[in-house]
Structure 1
């Protein structure tokens, strides 16, 4: 691995080159593995104490590293949280950052500094495997799936990319390697449309008998592999993925990226963006029934197994001690997100939301407070940290770790905190959901008035939207049961002023 020398000094972590006699431990620049799950809730892994599932490999990272109880995504939905993670910028600062369709153009400008580009400049070999959902192609051209894409992760600092275009429930249902569709047959071209039905495509309206999985809301367009999707797709039969092999295929690609390092002095950065437990939940048949709570629980166990296999590989290759692992989720949990899969009926005593209120799509805590773990064998933990941290801080923290001078407007250097050497986290944080915002300052959470629905009936989730101010003491009341806006007027005024200043 790259011979950049860093020193650990007792309770602080610094990049300043110091006299060797003062250093307690000398290390090499680490590989960086960012494991990012999709819709995994605060209570979905057993280490947080709310789960009836056993997730031993996630727990290994949690129990031997730093487990954050106040770790946040920037948004309660997928595309915005990924934007914040990769750019170090709050997603609400950029127009058009919303949940994207499968044929929307790439949100991040090709010239924008990203986490991958910054690490590549520092000598890292960079890769992404799994879910992308930040758009593809230029905004000034029609997206042509039958030619090399005009914009892809490879234009944002990733040396290698093997991704799905958006989400598993959206078309096109294809793998894309380095900007080109895998196994595309030019004689069977791909057509995608999100506005109107494509003549000749297999769809819910014309062929309901083709469904092997049934939709509950929103997923009533094309049917691919017996699963109804969002959007219409025709053609590309040879390129279409097998839903039940997604996890195995992405795992193989992630492990090949780790193994295929021609220059062993070059550290790697891998963004392993897993699709579980997002809908449609299609764990491999070998995991079917293992959780006792249906496909959602089985998908979480499948994800845990994949993580265990990655950890095993790192150990076998002798690089586990020199790999910083960051683990989190893009947003909070949702049970019924568009398919009838018994996620609600078979939940039992499992608590994916933990002791928090809300969930995916919500301004309440369960929308954005997610599992967040860091693990660097021999360096971090074991520690449970109450420091306030956000995924948006990963940019500045890894810049500090690798000696980069790059900065991002909303990213704060939390390297000491992420490595468990300090408890001095953020003082405040802005989060969002569906263009609405909430504000946390130390132990208080402010939700300003917003227009919209306060409850998503089909999804069973409170949005946090109200026409009145909401103020919660999040330390004493993590479930946000008692609105103190009318009794804590001084605190409310202070929070409003801070929120408006930051906004």
Structure 2
């Protein structure tokens, strides 16, 4: 249908709130990001957008509209054999959109499953190119202890609908990792051009590799900022996003395309490529506020007002429900959906977000609960490298008065009344699990909860 909006979801890997100049980065990180900044001025910028704690759970939550703990995808599968990930029963954004006539493509890291029945083309996408897991596997070939004749070889994969299994492409080396986004851009250009020529609405799930370690700018960006490879990589990210926006303009579909620019979790923590959480503290794979907030900006011309900034909560699962609603597609009713339709708020019909809070996990363990500007901490861990501390007495944090989460008690008020709201959110989740049991990690493809 001509009225169906196209959707471009541009997901950035390990993007802290202290990187982009339209948030709290820019010159403090060595370069401005002018194209992303301009995009923010033309749309709505969220300062309380909540991903999940790691790459895999965030991607799973976005695609299914469900907390990853429900889908058995709550943790990055380090060293997992093929056959892991989303089970056949799970329905994705691409499943629903493709059934409504959308052409769907994914480029970049998949990271929510491998093996028969779990590839992107099994989950509604018409085509995909990228690595099945993570970019740090590009470090393998240069490791003197690594032996490709004995050890696994990580490759870029490509698959189109109708194929039983992906085709293996080039080995994931540092050079391939450095240049992969140029290949994603090329393929996106071809896909969108074909869709426009055919008059088909499209959903492009574009997973940019930056700012995931190893952070390497392409050759044409090396030295561009004069402030090192991290700043050069931010300049590359900014330019790549601008290239996609220019493509939408050139093909004449910009005014009928929802564009979401969003991170997948908090910043890198590994020292050589450490990112910045900006005004917050914490890294990915932890429970600090720096991992519970990542940049998110959206434009939908004629629908979402420009120049808006909101600190209301939006969770990554909400995009599932919101995008399906925008496309006129029914949200599944035969399963628990955690996502909330945020169209009324984003379009200005409602003054505030339709969500007051959410639960957050690290792996399979519940780390805490957010409600408005308050946070209940059950397990304290700010950074990947910090040992988790399970608190005998949970902490209540007022993020307006203690944004760095330093105080053991929220004096002078304590805010103990907030327990009623935290308990309500936890009770609602517990009740939902009674109705629909959690899928265990590693569940077989045919598992049904």
Q: TM-score, normalised by structure 2?
A: 0.82
Cα offset for 1:136? Answer: 1.0
User: Which one of the candidate residues 319, 343, 359 is aligned to 1:430?
Assistant: 359
1:380-401 alpha-carbon deviations (Å, 9 max, x no partner): 2221122211110011112221
1:274-307 alpha-carbon deviations (Å, 9 max, x no partner): 1101011122122113344433332222111110
Q: Secondary structure at the match of 2:22?
A: helix
Matched, 1:176 2:157: yes
Q: CA RMSD in A?
A: 2.5
> 1:379-394 counterparts in 2 under 5 A?
379-380=303-304, 381-394=306-319
Q: Secondary structure at the match of 2:61?
A: helix
Q: Secondary structure at the match of 2:233?
A: helix
Q: Secondary structure at the match of 2:206?
A: strand
Q: Secondary structure at the match of 1:47?
A: coil
Cα offset for 1:97? Answer: 2.8
> How far apart are the structure 2 equivalents of 1:47 and 1:461?
29
User: Which one of the candidate residues 39, 48, 57 is aligned to 1:80?
Assistant: 57
User: Which one of the candidate residues 234, 243, 253 is aligned to 2:187?
Assistant: 253
- Report if aligned partners of 2:379, 2:388 keep a CA contact under 8 Å in 1: no
- Report if aligned partners of 2:320, 2:339 keep a CA contact under 8 Å in 1: yes
Instruction: Provide closer, same or farther for how the CA distance between residues 410 and 455 of structure 1 changes in structure 2, counting only shifts above 3 A.
Output: closer
> 1:27-66 counterparts in 2 under 5 A?
28-52=3-27, 53-66=31-44
> 1:67-146 counterparts in 2 under 5 A?
67-73=45-51, 75-101=52-78, 103-138=81-116
> How far apart are the structure 2 equivalents of 1:104 and 1:484?
46
Q: What does residue 364 of structure 1 align with? A: 288
Instruction: Provide closer, same or farther for how the CA distance between residues 489 and 387 of structure 1 changes in structure 2, counting only shifts above 3 A.
Output: closer
Cα offset for 1:114? Answer: 0.8
Cα offset for 1:156? Answer: 0.6
> How far apart are the structure 2 equivalents of 1:312 and 1:35?
14
Instruction: Provide closer, same or farther for how the CA distance between residues 51 and 477 of structure 1 changes in structure 2, counting only shifts above 3 A.
Output: farther
Cα offset for 1:495? Answer: 4.4
User: When the two structures are aligned, how many residues end up with a matched partner?
Assistant: 399
Cα offset for 1:490? Answer: 2.9
User: Which one of the candidate residues 202, 210, 216 is aligned to 1:276?
Assistant: 210
1:58-110 alpha-carbon deviations (Å, 9 max, x no partner): 2122111000111111x121001111110011112233531023644241122
Cα offset for 1:335? Answer: 4.0
- Work out which structure has the larger RCO, using CA pairs closer than 8 Å and 6 or more positions apart in sequence: 2
Q: What does residue 435 of structure 2 align with? A: none
> How far apart are the structure 1 equivalents of 2:280 and 2:382?
16
> How far apart are the structure 2 equivalents of 1:492 and 1:172?
50
> How far apart are the structure 1 equivalents of 2:421 and 2:295?
26
> How far apart are the structure 2 equivalents of 1:304 and 1:114?
28
> How far apart are the structure 2 equivalents of 1:155 and 1:295?
37
Which structure 1 segments of 5+ residues have no match?
4-27, 139-149, 185-189, 191-223, 228-240, 345-350
Matched, 1:419 2:347: yes
> 1:63-462 counterparts in 2 under 5 A?
63-73=41-51, 75-101=52-78, 103-138=81-116, 151-170=118-137, 172-178=153-159, 179-183=165-169, 225=173, 242-261=176-195, 264-336=198-270, 341=272, 343=273, 352-380=276-304, 381-407=306-332, 408-425=336-353, 426-436=355-365, 437-449=367-379, 454=381
Q: What does residue 201 of structure 1 align with? A: none
- Report if aligned partners of 2:47, 2:310 keep a CA contact under 8 Å in 1: yes
> How far apart are the structure 1 equivalents of 2:97 and 2:294?
25
Judging by fraction of residues, say which structure has more helix: 2
Q: More deviation in 418-427 or 278-287?
A: 418-427
Q: What does residue 439 of structure 2 align with? A: none
> How far apart are the structure 2 equivalents of 1:89 and 1:175?
28
Instruction: Provide closer, same or farther for how the CA distance between residues 137 and 292 of structure 1 changes in structure 2, counting only shifts above 3 A.
Output: same
Instruction: Provide closer, same or farther for how the CA distance between residues 330 and 497 of structure 1 changes in structure 2, counting only shifts above 3 A.
Output: same
User: Which structure 1 residue ranges, 4+ long, deviate > 6 Å from structure 2?
Assistant: none
> How far apart are the structure 2 equivalents of 1:283 and 1:497?
46
Cα offset for 1:42? Answer: 1.1
> How far apart are the structure 1 equivalents of 2:281 and 2:302?
36
